[in-house]
Chain A
């Protein structure tokens, strides 16, 4: 009978089919179980934890199936352990980048500098983390592009996680004219910040005259906001500050130069009403 036909050593066609069946069943179980876990735990635990749990369960089932299948295929696990070092070395040389990505992936899952759903900047690519697999990390950039970054690159790159902390600070520089009342401007700005629900009460927002610039009195405004909301608050408040200041007659300064002429322009003689520059003297 064909099922009893020996292929190599004592492994028959039946063993081969059994092994294949075990692997297929394990893959199906892994898939179904991870799907079920995702559905069952979706409302109960955070997305990043859910993904990790689903992957660990899925990979564990596959590994267990492989361990079951290997003896059926005539591979002795004890022999594998002895040969493991040599095989590992060979695999390591042959597939350095894959192993590198895999190890980096494991370390990323342990260290967790980024989580699924976080807004991050990795190696100059800014976006939202869609997935962290064992080999690569997937980002969706803010303009909707799919970017796959090998874990080795992610692990060795500078990572900025915009939402790792619960709150973050942003800043405006508001330049008002020298003729405007800075105290009044500060009061208007502070009042606007106080009225905005997502500008945090604590850490306390700050607004102060930072420097006397070439063209404006520069007011620095520091506002803390929930890390997930800061960009919306930043976009909204700046325009409100500008409108509120202008409503009170305070204008945003723009670059300007006062030019004093040593010799009066002929067409302007007699029309000038402002006093002359004191350094120019009467004969100027």
Chain B
């Protein structure tokens, strides 16, 4: 599904039906996914369609730039230890036309149920996209249409054990890569104290040969000054 496609285009896969057809000098884009139907007339005569995983921040509403991944089980890291774990994360699918430097996403869809949560308190906290993930020590297989796989390197710089229940990321800085079998991302988490950590993304694919996604927020040329995030409301 992911990658560049010529027009006319018809994709039917896992509950997603997506088509781009030429019609009277322009293009007609139609998409059905779950209960959602989208139809658009594109004033373009040709070009290519790029279908790519994008940041999970747009559905059902672009309310936040943060992603909170809650762990199924509490994770304890030994003093001054470094661990590499794998987590799943939600993805959304972006559809672009004539992708180049000035491309604009024409549609975003997702197959996963969406949920928001609050990190911190109602006064000072932040609204985050919510996801719950198991912790894996080796790479699990995931459905690339629905979920991505994150390699998270956790470094405990403290002289004490630190317990982790969640990780929060500034998802505007996500660096997604994809292949036919996997959507991936690399991230790091630096445990500053027992209650404070810094998360960041690493722009590197999980496997060789994976392609770089065209992220929505990078495509919109939003200035991302600090893709890092400081978790200061607890771990």
Contact = CB atoms under 8 A, between A and B. Distances in A.
A198 B119 CA distance: 14
B116 A226 contact: yes
Contact of B122 (A44, A166, A195, A228): A166
Contacts of A229: 61, 63
B130 A228 contact: no
Given A226-B127, A229-B61, A165 B122 contact: yes
A195 B113 contact: yes
A201 B115 contact: yes
B115 A168 contact: no
Contacts of A167: 118, 122, 125, 127
Nearest to A164: B123
A228 B122 CA distance: 13
A200 B63 contact: no
Interface residues of A, number: 16
B123 A201 contact: no
B125 A197 contact: no
A228 B223 CA distance: 24
B127 A166 contact: yes
Contact of A197 (B115, B118, B122, B126): B115
Contacts of B141: none
A200 B126 CA distance: 12
Interface string A199-240: 011110000000000000000000010101100000000000
B72 to A, nearest CB: 14
24 contacts: A44-B223, A165-B123, A166-B122, A166-B127, A167-B118, A167-B127, A168-B122, A195-B113, A197-B60, A197-B113, A198-B61, A200-B118, A200-B127, A201-B117, A201-B130, A202-B118, A202-B119, A203-B118, A203-B122, A224-B122, A226-B116, A226-B127, A229-B61, A229-B63
The 4 closest A-B pairs by CB, nearest first: A201-B117, A197-B114, A165-B122, A167-B122
Given A167-B122, A201-B116, A229-B63, 19 more contacts: A165-B123, A166-B118, A166-B123, A166-B125, A166-B127, A167-B118, A167-B125, A197-B60, A197-B116, A198-B60, A198-B61, A198-B116, A201-B115, A201-B117, A201-B130, A202-B119, A203-B122, A228-B63, A229-B61
